[in-house]
Amino acid sequence: MALMITEACINCDVCEPECPNGAISQGPEIYCIDPDRCTECVGHFDAPQCVEVCPVSCIPLNPERRETREALQQKYLRLKEKGLKTG
């Protein structure tokens, strides 16, 4: 699954620089995660870094984007192949 940021986001700015795939950006009101770029840090770390640093625990799994670890690994490899930011 990709991750998502909920309305509980306080715009503290700590998650965006932690994302090795550049999947997090400032939205109109809160930060948001591009599910096409989110690999839950598979390929980089053992745990999602944004979740690790979030002070309000507002980054759950996105139930609309169910992906296996293998699918997340494949997404990471595609991003890397395209030369997009991957850490």
List pLDDT tens digits, range 45-74.
Answer: 999 999 999 999 999 999 999 999 999 999
Distance CA 17, CA 61 (A): 19
DSSP per-residue string spanning 38-70: --TTTTT-SS-HHHHH-TT----B-TTS---HH
Tokens representing residue 42 in the block: 């598979």
Domain map (residue ranges) of the chain: 16-81
- Residue 9: left if φ>0, alpha if ψ -120 to 50, beta else—which one? beta
pTM: predicted TM-score of the whole model, two decimal places: 0.90
Candidate CATH numbers 3.30.70.100, 3.50.50.60, 3.30.70.20, 1.10.520.10; the one for domain 16-81: 3.30.70.20
For residues 33 and 4, is the Cβ–Cβ distance under 8 A? yes
Q: Is the pLDDT of residue 36 over 80?
A: yes
